Amino acid sequence: MCGIFGYNGGKEASSILLGGLYRLEYRGYDSAGVAILSETGVHRSRVAGRVEALEAHLKTHPLPPAGVGIAHTRWATHGAPTERNAHPHVSGRVTVVHNGILENYDRLKQELEAAGRVLESETDTEVIAHLLDLAYTGDPIDAIRQVSERLQGSYALALLFADHPDRVYAVRVGSPLLVGYGDGESFLASDRTALLPHTRRYTPLGEGEMAILARDGISLFDRAGQPIQREPLIATEGADAVEKGPYPHFMAKEMDELPTAVRQTLAAYLHGARPFEGQLPDGRQVKELVLLGCGSAMHACLCGQRMLERWARIPTRVYVASEFRYCDPLLSEGTWAVAVSQSGETADTLAALRLCKERGIPTVGVVNVATSSLSTLADQVLYTRAGPEIAVATTKAYGAQVALLGLMAYRFARDRGCLAEDAPFSALPEALEQVTATDGACAEIGQRLAGCPNVFFIGRGRDYPVCVEGALKLKEISYLHSEAYAAGELKHGTIALLHSGVPVVALITDPCLRDKTVSNLKECRARGAEVILLCGEDVGEVPADAYDSRLTLPGGMGELSVLPAAAALQRIAYHAACYMGRDVDKPRNLAKSVTVE
Ligand code: M6R
């Protein structure tokens, strides 16, 4: 939700911290700040707005030279995105930046105010700064340990203590934080991608763990304050994995990487006779599946549900993870839960998974970010191999999720002896490359949609969940209102919204559903709507009076045609947003990783 970066070394801290913030900005970008510890004490600089604004401010108001500092880019939870609420927050000798949310904030704030403390901001973070200042008697780790016992919720903190000028301190509970080992320098970041330009050696802090970053090394402590030893992990990707390269946006780069993401994900599990050998139970033991996710991950679950039910004949329920706990879900023996998440840090998905664990059912995490919270929580972890995804709108990671769930369905179906034909997984990356080649045509459709007050996406069967994802993609990056409807459902009310010129993007990838969907398209055109048809090349003839324009999608993919269709809708949304001059990679009000409930 927010991004944290910390540095202790021989270089100029301000510029290293700014570089770190730029790489973490996708996590939240409504305000930013930095604090350094120089010979003259703590100095901080904060702005409402982007890291760019902070950099400009630092040019006109430079901080004194220093090699130690912490920085933050914010997605507001408590208090508006103003300079006053921007991190770092200072109380006495303590300076803090925070990612997460305090659930007992009100009570702690009242307590502090009753004790005569005056809080300057509306943030929960400032409460932490005051509690630490009160608890601090000279030993930072002891103060952090004591205060941690009082905090409820999730928090990753980076801290400076003014009387320990050569140290950065850190702790994490529920929100991610990693330390990075350099040569004569140490780093701290919310995400491994921000460490890559400096070092590939890193350690994710475990729950409740604390760290002291010195120039010559990093010390780790457990939640009781006892020292712990851990060998650093080595990141396999290079710094270029998190650079835009020649692309105008990360989203454009990541859409082009979709075929590779799917290819790598499939290749990771297709060794030997059965995919997921030793990682999933025999499909005959699985009586029912519960799929959990938020946003696009939940939409990937909808695609997975269909394949699991049609191929493997396993009853499958999909839950919006944020609602799961409130439906008192029926979970019985033989039910398996699968939680799907790119970041592995989505608070609602983690909470849903915890409930499944409490109820004693086996859990599987489908996750892209190794070492994320979800990957430590789930009983079994299946990684999507999409590589780092930076754009807030997910594209390649969503594709990898659908491919992995499809492969899971295929494996269970084989176990249960209920899939007659082979599914064309090996042809999938190439089909996705064919969609990449239609980018010009997608751009034309995007241009047509740009600026329209309402856009509808309709489809039947497997095409409907893809429409839901297409509508979300368009909403989140173009800010256009869009709605997805099962094509046959439109006439039960929503068709009242159609009139001359309203764009209806229609999907037909299933030949069996062609004629029924064509009838729905004609109903739309009869009301003056403009039908933009995306149609599989194996769907057969569609009468020319059913649509206004047409884009052909690769055929022969059966149930897997959801992926080429989704890839085309991603490109259409991308181009619509570009034509409207939107900030495609960092759409308003959003953040890549949603670590609050
Ligand atoms: O990291 P996760 O996959 O758990 O994220 C879930 C959603 O927040 C995410 O898919 C969101 O809907 C995307 N921004 C959509 O593009």
Which pLDDT band holds residue 132 (cuts at 50, 70, 90)?
A: very high
Ligand 1 binding pocket, CB closer than 6 Å? 294-297, 341-343, 346, 349, 392-394, 472, 476, 593-594
d(CA 580, CA 185): 43
d(CA 446, CA 455): 11
Position 78 scores a pLDDT of 81
Task: Compute the 3-state secondary structure of the chain and give helix, strand, coil in percent, each to the nearest 5.
Answer: 40, 25, 35
Report which ligand 1 atom has the smallest distance to the Cα of 299: 10
Q: What tens digit of pLDDT does each residue of 363-414 get? A: 999 999 988 899 999 999 999 999 999 999 999 999 999 999 999 999 999 9
Range of weakest confidence among 305-314, 419-428, 453-462: 419-428
Position 28 scores a pLDDT of 87
Dihedral, CA of residue 390, residue 393, residue 399 and residue 400, to nearest 10: 30
| pTM for this model (two decimals) | 0.91
Tell me if residue 242 falls in helix, strand or coil. helix
Q: What is the maximum alpha-carbon separation in the chain?
A: 79
Handedness of CA 203, 39, 138, 87 (dihedral sign): negative
Q: What is the mean pLDDT of residues 478-500?
A: 95
d(CA 543, CA 402): 31
d(CA 592, CA 29): 10
Pocket test for ligand 1, best of 301, 343, 586, 595 (most atoms within 8 A of CB): 343
Task: Measure 594 CA to ligand 1 centroid, in angstroms.
Answer: 8
Position 241 scores a pLDDT of 80
d(CA 109, CA 105): 6
Residue whose CA is at the smallest distance from ligand 1 atom 12: 295
Residue whose CA is at the smallest distance from ligand 1 atom 10: 296
Report which ligand 1 atom has the smallest distance to the Cα of 594: 8
Q: Which residues of 296-329 are buried (b: 16+ CB within 10 A; e: fewer)?
A: bbbbbbbbbbbbbebbbebebbbbbbbebeeeeb
Which pLDDT band holds residue 420 (cuts at 50, 70, 90)?
A: low
Residue whose CA is at the smallest distance from ligand 1 atom 11: 295
Angle of the 463-478 helix axis to the 295-310 helix axis, nearest 10: 170
d(CA 442, CA 474): 13
Of 474, 507, 503, nearest in space to 573 by CA: 474
- Catalogue the active-site residues: 2, 592
Task: Measure 597 CA to ligand 1 centroid, in angstroms.
Answer: 13
Tell me if residue 406 falls in helix, strand or coil. helix
d(CA 25, CA 73): 6
Of 249, 264, 534, nearest in space to 399 by CA: 264
Strand order in the sheet with 454-459: 481-486, 454-459, 503-508, 530-536, 549-553
* pLDDT at 419 exceeding the cut of 70: yes
Task: Measure 139 CA to ligand 1 centroid, in angstroms.
Answer: 40
Q: What is the mean pLDDT of residues 580-589?
A: 95
Q: What tens digit of pLDDT does each residue of 218-257 get? A: 999 999 999 999 999 999 887 788 889 999 999 999 999 9
* pLDDT at 1 exceeding the cut of 80: no
d(CA 129, CA 241): 36
DSSP bridge partners of 275: none
Of 429, 578, 456, 436, nearest in space to 524 by CA: 456
Q: Which domains does the chain have, with CATH numbers?
A: 3-241 (3.60.20.10), 249-423 (3.40.50.10490), 428-582 (3.40.50.10490)
* pLDDT at 596 exceeding the cut of 90: no
Q: What tens digit of pLDDT does each residue of 19-65 get? A: 999 999 988 889 999 999 999 999 999 999 999 999 999 999 999 99
**Which residues are within 8 A (CB) of 510 and not within 5 positions of it... i.e. 6 or more apart?**
460, 461, 462, 463, 536, 539, 561
Measure CA of the first residue to CA of the last residue in the chain; give whole Å: 11
Position 148 scores a pLDDT of 97
Report which ligand 1 atom has the smallest distance to the Cα of 342: 3
Residue whose CA is at the smallest distance from ligand 1 atom 7: 295
The answer to whether residues 129 and 90 touch, using CB atoms and an 8 Å cutoff, is yes
Task: Measure 174 CA to ligand 1 centroid, in angstroms.
Answer: 18
Task: Measure 172 CA to ligand 1 centroid, in angstroms.
Answer: 22
Q: How far is CA 108 from CA 139, 143, 508, 557, 563, in A?
A: 22, 16, 56, 57, 48
